[in-house]
């Protein structure tokens, strides 16, 4: 892009902002784009943005925020590359806890405390696994000891008369039949009472949807991201990041949800190209911009 064209774009966006009496802080609050990138756009310094993908995406959002028809604006200034013509530089991109997209051009190294915090969950998981193994070993050992004692007691008993054996056999058959019928009834009851997954409607706050899903928490589930076009995706399950990549158009990304999952956080760039499913059921995001987030809360049904 020429310097003259860049400056013209910035001046037109800045004039529209001032005409509406808005500050850069107001635009940041609306678009969730970091203010220093908004200032770079106004100054025609598109080289300060993290990549060509963001030049078009950020300019589109800025134009919409100040009341300019984004499609017409980009068509007039058609020197901004299309998002699917340039590989997006997402190596350092992230969406922070305040839902502001930051490309991380000068992202600081993780501190020792942050590294320690990332290791602590793994240590806890290791301790829990060892505790479970010890509990299983104790139960198996106890069962084996009881079985051995039972065999010894059976060998020491005297034989009973044939009439008692027959009576005992008949009683055992009656109990077995009763137990089988009871088991079938219990199984049928459990099947009829099996909880169904209920996906709630989203509530919107800024650029984020909050969705509640009622389901069975003690079983595994699957989240599927379906891309109709290239979309940058980030997924965090129970506080641990499991997806951080660009999903190409026409492909899907499955996310396995372990038993006990109760929190899923999603963030997308080019969000209009993505569809989300939970166990094969559609999850509505109702996104209204290219950069969008979703907080999915699972509750026991």
Strands 252-257 and 221-227: antiparallel
- What tokens were used for 186? 């219990």
Answer whether residue 263 shows pLDDT above 70: yes
Say how many C-beta atoms besides its own lie within 10 A of residue 86's C-beta: 14
For the chain, the 3-state helix, strand and coil shares in percent, each to the nearest 5, are 45, 25, 30
Rg (Cα) of the chain, in Å, rounded? 30
User: In angstroms, rounded to a whole number, what is the distance separating the alpha carbons of residues 195 and 143?
Assistant: 34
Least confident of 6-10, 24-28, 112-116, 160-164: 160-164
Q: What is the pLDDT of residues 42-88, one digit of tens each?
A: 998 999 998 888 888 999 999 999 999 988 888 887 655 444 444 44
Answer whether residue 121 shows pLDDT above 80: no
Whole-number pLDDT of residue 257? 79
Report if pTM > 0.75. no
User: In angstroms, rounded to a whole number, what is the distance separating the alpha carbons of residues 114 and 198?
Assistant: 37
pLDDT confidence tier of residue 164, bands split at 50, 70 and 90: very low
**What 3-state DSSP class applies to 83?**
coil
Select the more confidently predicted residue: 236 or 175: 236
Whole-number pLDDT of residue 231? 86
> Would you say 63 and 13 are in contact if contact means Cβ atoms under 8 Å apart?
yes
If you search the block for the tokens 């984020």, which residue do you land on?
Answer: 208
Least confident of 43-52, 131-140, 163-172: 163-172
With CA atoms as reference, report the closest residue to 88 among 212, 233, 288, 282.
233
- Give me the chain's average pLDDT, please: 76
């Amino acid at each position: 892009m020429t310097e003259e064209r860049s400056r013209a774009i910035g001046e037109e966006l800045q004039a529209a902002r001032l005409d509406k009496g808005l500050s850069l802080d107001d635009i940041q609050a609306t678009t969730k784009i970091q203010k220093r990138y908004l200032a770079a756009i106004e100054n025609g310094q598109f080289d300060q943005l993290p990549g060509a993908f963001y030049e078009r995406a950020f300019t589109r959002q800025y134009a919409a925020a100040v009341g300019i028809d984004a499609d017409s604006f980009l068509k007039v200034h058609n020197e901004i590359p299309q998002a699917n013509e340039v590989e997006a530089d997402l190596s350092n991109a992230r969406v922070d806890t305040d839902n502001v997209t930051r490309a991380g051009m000068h992202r600081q190294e993780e501190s020792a405390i942050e590294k320690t915090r990332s290791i602590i969950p793994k240590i806890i998981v290791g301790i829990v696994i060892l505790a479970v193994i010890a509990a299983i070993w104790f139960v198996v050992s106890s069962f084996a000891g009881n079985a051995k004692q039972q065999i010894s007691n059976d060998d020491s008993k005297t034989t009973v008369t044939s009439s008692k054996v027959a009576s005992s056999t008949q009683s055992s058959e009656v109990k077995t039949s009763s137990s089988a019928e009871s088991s079938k009834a219990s199984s049928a009851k459990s099947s009829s009472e099996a909880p169904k997954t209920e996906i709630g409607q989203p509530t919107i706050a800024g650029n984020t949807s909050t969705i509640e899903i009622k389901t069975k928490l003690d079983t595994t589930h699957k989240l599927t991201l379906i891309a109709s076009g290239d979309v940058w995706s980030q997924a965090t399950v129970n506080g641990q990041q499991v997806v951080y990549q660009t999903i190409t158009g026409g492909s899907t990304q499955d996310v396995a949800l372990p038993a006990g999952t109760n929190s899923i956080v999603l963030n997308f760039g080019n969000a209009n190209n993505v569809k989300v499913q939970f166990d094969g059921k559609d999850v509505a995001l109702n996104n209204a911009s290219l950069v969008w987030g979703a907080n999915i809360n699972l509750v026991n049904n």
